[in-house]
């Protein structure tokens, strides 16, 4: 009997229902995907059209920044102090050079590269962005440019760049005033980015590092321009679409008098020290010299580590601006100010006399404080105390005044704080007080400390700029101006005068006290270096000890190391009747102030005040 066949029964209704569901699901998926596709197309073509058009243009259009030319620096008479000169340099883009060492070895056969340059390149590469060009050889000669241009095909990623570089035509003459420009380093870039200024330096490799160049960077730098270039997919330029010219930096005029600056440098040649000359009528700096100096041009193209190390380790410290950073004991140059305090506080008057036997003692103390004149000056009033620089008079006065009152009074003249001059390199000096010594050394203040301060020694230190500024206030009988170097700046249309910062004047209880002190300084000048001058001057000299001398010992410069010998100082102004120039001078380790500093002040005054007479005579 044959087996039975299985009969399969189809449920057409169920199958039809299943098919419909699957078909509906499939159509829904298809429509959803089509909707998503259309949505994306709308997003790309409509909503994001502007964005993608910009991205496309960015790939097609290249923006190349153009560096602005740096503003010029001129003196008060329009003499050029800092200019821009054309230059050629050899640049390398690290990411386009397969092996930099091999490329430099090969390059050395046509353009010699020193070991110092190789070391500098290796150091720079550690922090340099590979897509940014870097200088591998600065200041190419025309012959070197021609030699490389002929062989450029053999050095992919290396090219000659042309531009303008800062140049200081007077070399060492103005270094500590002008400062210099140098390459923008990692620290500089971080500061610019933090200030949202980096975009302004996209095409600039240098910026001000010190002095006027740094302080007025915002005026001197200018605004960059740019070139819009159309390029193909390989980055080759097809055409130039648009050029936006950069805005050059503004030219600035300084208060400096170049001829006076040159004379001051000449007088300090071979010496260590500083000269500051101020116009007392507005606080403008006429001359500011720190000696020894250095050539700022070597920093413009990048100074070698060897050369910088020599400057840094030089015992004469040429990198320090002695005019604003040198801190010296002011010695007897501050005696007029101390006498003014005594008069104003009515501790002394015009007729007060002090007996000077050659020494002074604190009541009840055995130690004797000696006068510079061994046998003393006899009876001394305030005039002769300043004229003859009688130490005994000022020991006694300081003892009666007290250091805190003295410190508070001197603060009005700018001692112990920044003057506010428009360069960043400035020290405050030190105007000591009881609280200062407690904070500094955790020690008590002794009367002996006050006695030393009374003759401008001990803990009291001041910069030559502070001494010049204080003397200008004295010559002005209390009128005060913030010392400044900027006279005017020039934009595209006009020369704009810089504002003068006049501070509230110093008011004395008796204004006649100004006349007493200034008359004493006039008599001091009349008895010394200005006896035969064609103008009337006022002055006070000082001799500052570097090391202490035993009570009964005699100072002998020949038996003391040169760096420990006394400093010579002078503060002076002229003409006495209508002051036009104030000078503060410090000669390091030169000895007696009157003998060594006095002649320098005389020559500077002659140069500035008699120049017109000499020119007329010629």
Burial class (CB in 10 A: 0-12, 13-18, 19+), 197: middle
DSSP 393-443: HHHHHHHHH-HHHHHHHHHTTTTTS----SSS-----B---HHHHHHHHS-
Length of the chain: 618
SS3 of the chain: helix, strand, coil, percent, to 5:
40, 20, 40
- Whether residue 358 contacts residue 372, with contact meaning beta carbons closer than 8 Å, is answered with no
d(CA 371, CA 613): 43
User: Is 606 marked as a binding-site residue?
Assistant: no
Pairwise CA distance, residues 610 & 373, whole Å: 36
H-helix or E-strand spanning residue 183? strand 181-183
Provide Rg for the chain, Cα atoms.
37
- Hey, is 266 helix, strand or coil? helix
Q: Return d(Cα 486, Cα 454) in angstroms, integer.
A: 36
Helices in 166-224 by DSSP H: which ranges? 175-178, 186-194, 211-215, 217-221
Tokens read off for 285: 């700096």
Burial classification of residue 93, based on how many CB atoms lie within 10 Å of its CB (0-12 exposed, 13-18 middle, 19 or more buried): middle
The three-state (H, E, C) secondary structure of 82-120, written as one string: EEEEEEEEEEECHHHCCCHHHHHHHHCCCCCCCHHHHHH
- CB–CB of 360/392 below 8 Å? yes
Per annotation, catalytic residue among 329, 332, 433, 528: 332
The helix (H) or strand (E) run that includes residue 171 is none
| Tokens representing residue 48 in the block | 């994001």
**Does the annotation count 305 as an active-site position?**
no
Indicate the helix (H) or strand (E) that contains 244: strand 237-244
CA-closest candidate to residue 421, choices 464, 387, 367, 474: 464
Residue 371 in marked binding region: yes
Looking at residue 198, what DSSP letter applies? G
Distance of alpha carbon 112 from its chain centroid, rounded?
35
Cβ(571)–Cβ(333) under 8 Å? yes
CA distance 51 to 56: 9
List binding-site positions: 356, 371, 377, 390
**So which residues are the catalytic ones?**
332
List binding-site positions for Zn(2+): 356, 371, 377, 390
């Amino acid at each position: 009997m044959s087996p039975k066949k299985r009969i399969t029964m189809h449920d057409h209704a169920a199958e039809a229902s299943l098919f419909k569901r699957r078909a509906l699901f499939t159509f829904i998926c298809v429509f959803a995907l089509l909707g998503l596709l259309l949505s994306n197309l709308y997003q790309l073509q409509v909503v994001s059209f502007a964005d993608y058009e910009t991205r496309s243009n960015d790939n097609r259009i290249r923006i190349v920044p153009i560096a602005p030319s740096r503003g010029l620096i001129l003196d008060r008479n329009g003499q050029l102090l800092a200019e821009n000169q054309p230059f050629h340099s050899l640049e390398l883009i690290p990411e386009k050079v397969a092996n930099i060492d091999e490329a430099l070895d090969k390059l050395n056969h046509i353009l010699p590269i020193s070991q110092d340059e190789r070391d500098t390149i290796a150091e720079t590469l550690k922090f340099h962005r590979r897509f940014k060009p870097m200088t591998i050889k600065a200041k190419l000669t025309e012959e070197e440019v021609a030699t490389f241009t002929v062989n450029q095909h053999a050095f992919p990623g290396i090219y000659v760049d042309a531009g303008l570089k800062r140049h200081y035509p007077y070399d060492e003459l103005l270094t500590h005033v002008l400062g210099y420009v140098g390459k923008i380093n990692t620290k500089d870039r971080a500061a610019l980015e933090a200030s949202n200024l980096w975009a302004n330096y996209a095409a600039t490799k240098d910026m001000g590092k010190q002095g006027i160049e740094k302080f007025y960077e915002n005026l001197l730098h200018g605004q960059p321009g740019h070139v819009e270039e159309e390029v193909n997919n390989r980055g080759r330029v097809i055409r130039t679409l648009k050029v936006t010219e950069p805005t050059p930096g503004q030219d600035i005029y300084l208060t400096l008098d170049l001829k006076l600056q040159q004379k001051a440098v000449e007088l300090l040649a071979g010496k260590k020290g500083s000269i500051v000359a101020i116009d007392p009528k507005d606080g403008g700096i006429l001359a500011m010299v720190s000696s020894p100096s250095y050539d700022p041009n070597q920093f413009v193209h990048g100074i070698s580590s060897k050369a910088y190390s020599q400057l840094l380790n030089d015992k004469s410290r040429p990198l320090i601006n002695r005019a604003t950073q040198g801190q010296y004991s002011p010695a007897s140059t501050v005696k007029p100010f101390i006498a003014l305090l005594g008069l104003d506080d009515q501790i002394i008057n015009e007729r007060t006399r002090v007996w000077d036997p050659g020494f002074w003692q604190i009541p009840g103390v055995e130690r004797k404080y000696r006068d510079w004149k061994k046998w003393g000056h006899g009876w001394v009033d305030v005039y002769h105390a300043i004229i003859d620089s009688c130490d005994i008079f000022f020991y006694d006065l300081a003892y009666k005044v007290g250091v805190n009152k003295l410190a508070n009074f001197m603060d009005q003249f700018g001692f112990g704080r920044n003057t506010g001059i428009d360069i960043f390199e400035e020290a405050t000096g030190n105007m000591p007080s009881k609280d200062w010594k407690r904070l500094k050394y955790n020690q008590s203040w002794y009367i002996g400390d006050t006695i030393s301060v009374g003759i401008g020694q001990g803990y009291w230190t001041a910069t030559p700029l502070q001494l010049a500024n204080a003397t200008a206030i004295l010559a002005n009988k209390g009128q005060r101006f913030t010392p400044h170097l900027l006279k005017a700046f020039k934009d595209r249309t006009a020369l704009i005068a810089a504002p003068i910062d006049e501070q509230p004047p110093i008011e004395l209880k008796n204004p006649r006290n100004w006349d007493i002190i200034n008359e004493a300084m006039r008599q001091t000048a009349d008895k010394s270096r200005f006896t035969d001058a064609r103008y009337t001057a006022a002055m006070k000299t000082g001799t500052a000890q570097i090391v202490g001398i035993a009570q009964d010992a005699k100072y002998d410069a020949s038996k003391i190391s040169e760096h420990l010998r006394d400093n010579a100082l002078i503060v002076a102004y002229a003409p006495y009747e209508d002051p036009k120039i104030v000078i503060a001078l410090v000669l390091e380790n030169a000895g007696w102030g009157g003998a060594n500093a006095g002649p320098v002040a005389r020559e500077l005054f002659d140069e500035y005040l008699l120049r017109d007479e000499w020119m007329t005579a010629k």
